[in-house]
Chain A
Amino acid sequence: MIKEYAHIAIVALILLTLPLWLNFTTATDILVFGLYAMAFNVALGFAGILSFGHAAFFGVGAYAAGLALRYFGASVWTAIFWAVLCASLVALLMGALCVKKRGVYFALLIAAFAQMFYFLALSPLRFITGGEDGLKGIEVLKLKFPVHADLGHPAALFGFIFCILIVCILVMHRFVHSPLGSLMKGLEENEPRLRACGYNTNAVKIWAFAVSGLFSGVAGALYTVNLGYVPLDSLYWLNSGTPLVMTLLGGMHTFFGPLLGAGIFIFFQDNVSVYTARWEFFVGALVVILILIFPGGILGTVKEKIAQADEGDRQGIWFWLKKLS
């Protein structure tokens, strides 16, 4: 267990150094989307549940936080609380409704439900959500507890989001390594067998999905805090593909893979888009290449290489990485 926490500490340290070689904006974006991708991976990589509707949880979290901040003058913590509450409720409901459908039907049904939220924000609830323009008018936030900080300052914002991310990582880690987490893994590996062992696989699915939605909601809230407004696009179903691509990039079956994937994706987005508006082409091409050659993603392939490294290859880098990790 100590090894695992050491890993988390190393990752935390690396994240802390991000603003040194990237600017604060990019670094903070990476933190937010890293959380989103990791939340998504709780469902996909650890429980085997594919969903194209995570934009609903992210977006609901973002709007919940935004509404709380804009209309109720809430503190940041309250906003996050409401985001967590709403996003997990939505995930619980959607999961419970759709749980009996298999694989791709589930994913598409969730996407369709997610699109309903998009539409709700676009049209009928336009007077509170701002419709196509998104939710604006959120004022620069001040943090009162546990320290005083002006979140308008990029470094403070980064620090705040970093702390929340680390807390979420610790909780997610605990969850994934809990008995329920093991059940999730069983779900991913061999569902009929899990059922044959007497477990209620539907309940496991719903829980996994709800947890995934919960952390996506936190990511959404942090997105709002980071951006200062809520774009309507955060609810659009195709943007559920963003955490998917990040997870694929970094490694679907690894814990930190999505975080790495998010880093690379955001880096790409911010730097390639300087040269061309066609950066989505590169992302799409990257997905295609990854699936064909490295379906395990970066971390997945690295882990594979490490696992395969044996005593005979004492000079190899993989062998020494194995000794270290």
Chain B
Amino acid sequence: MACSWPCAGVPSVVNSESKMFHIPPNILLMQAIIGLALGAVFVLLASGLSMIYGLMDVVNFAHGVFFMLGAYAVYQFNLTLGNFWVGVALAVLAVALLGALTEISLLRPLYKTGNLLYPLLLTFGLALALPDVVKMFYGLMPMPVNYPEGLQGSLLVGPLIVPKYRLFVIVLTFSVMFSLWLFLKKSNLGMILRATTTDKGMVDAMGINVNRVVTLGFSIGIALAALGGAVAAPMVSVEPNMGVNIVLQCFVVTVVGGLGSLGGAVVSGVIIGEVVAFTSLFAGGYADVVIYFVMAVILLVRPRGLFGELSRE
């Protein structure tokens, strides 16, 4: 299970004898950008997961599956409509809608049991079942999604090589996160969402329909995951198990940042993206596992994650 990740943009310039100082700085910078792009995808996924956990106290094991569905949706829309951008937008909308339907039909009935284990197990069941549904329609082979025109290749800024698409992913993610932050901080609906993560009962007492707020929050989280999948589609191999591989790493990022904290998800995503990218540059085989070391260290030192709230029973 080599690093299946979009950090293999640079052929490994490191053999067992070369040291860090022998790598030209423009390669280092390129790897930093690749790491940042990887981090961007992590940020999208982790913030979605964090939001869902904050609202519902449920760790969404199906998050990886919605990521995968976003990638497949963009493949399909790209195929039938020919336009990558429209494809991305439609993919996000379609998967978010699916997420909303899932929440209403499957998760909502479980809230009244009060047992946090059941929704978690249900999402686990979804994570088992849905990849097989995709296999039924698309088979096991990876589906190719091409870079959109205009974003292929790299920019040459002096001696620096900057892959265009990765730059786009970074810019897109940070715009989206900024908009999300604006929405949550400044709008009425955002305020209601934030209030619901803190004290659901009180929001209910104020006469607001909490169920709808939770559905909205869940859909936003899923939309983020789908967006992550959609933009990652050209960079990775789009196959039914791509969600399974990413979901544990996504958990790591979320947990390191602190479950329930969006800022934490952003910081942690960037850090972990860079860590993975540079590990794959210097010590290729360990790229997949370094994440777990990071998580172990951080959780043992600071149990609630970097920005997590203190006690959430």
Contact = CB atoms under 8 A, between A and B. Distances in A.
A288 B251 contact: no
Given A280-B128, A280-B129, A284-B130, A109 B122 contact: no
Interface string B254-292: 010001000000000000000000000000011011011
9 contacts: A100-B303, A104-B120, A112-B248, A278-B136, A281-B129, A284-B127, A288-B126, A292-B109, A295-B118
B66 to A, nearest CB: 15
A230 interface: no
Contacts of B182: none
A277 B135 CA distance: 10
Interface string A81-123: 0000000000000000100111111001101110110010011
Contacts of A112: 248, 251-252, 291-292, 295-296
Given A119-B289, A278-B135, A109 B110 contact: no
A113 B110 CA distance: 30
B63 to A, nearest CB: 13
Most buried by A among B124, B259, B285, B291: B124
Contacts of B133: 281
Given A112-B252, A287-B129, 10 more contacts: A101-B299, A105-B299, A108-B59, A116-B296, A245-B125, A283-B128, A284-B128, A287-B121, A288-B126, A295-B115
Contacts of A104: 59, 120, 259
A272 to B, nearest CB: 11
A248 interface: yes
B132 to A, nearest CB: 4
The 3 A-B pairs at the shortest CB distance, nearest first, are namely A284-B129, A287-B125, A284-B128
Given A109-B296, A291-B121, A123 B129 contact: no
Contacts of B244: 238
B109 A116 contact: no
Interface string B190-224: 00000000000000000000000000000000000
Most buried by A among B129, B244, B291: B129
B279 to A, nearest CB: 12
A295 B116 CA distance: 12
Contacts of A277: 135
B296 A113 contact: yes
A292 B121 contact: no
Nearest to B58: A104
Contacts, number: 111
A65 interface: no
B98 to A, nearest CB: 15
Interface in A231-256: 237-238, 241, 244-245, 248
Secondary structure type dominating chain B contacts: helix
Contacts of A116: 289, 292-293, 296
B131 interface: yes
Given A281-B133, A292-B109, A295-B113, A115 B292 contact: yes
Contacts of A282: 129
Given A241-B128, A288-B122, A108 B292 contact: no
B248 A287 contact: no
B19 to A, nearest CB: 21
A284 B126 contact: yes
A223 B121 CA distance: 26
Contact of A101 (B129, B130, B248, B303): B303
A97 B293 contact: no
B296 A281 contact: no
Given A278-B136, A287-B121, A105 B303 contact: yes
Nearest to A126: B285
A146 B271 CA distance: 57
A288 B296 CA distance: 31
B301 to A, nearest CB: 12
Contact of B129 (A115, A244, A285): A285
A254 B124 CA distance: 21
A288 B131 contact: no
A17 B8 CA distance: 54
A50 interface: yes
Given A278-B132, A284-B132, A244 B303 contact: no
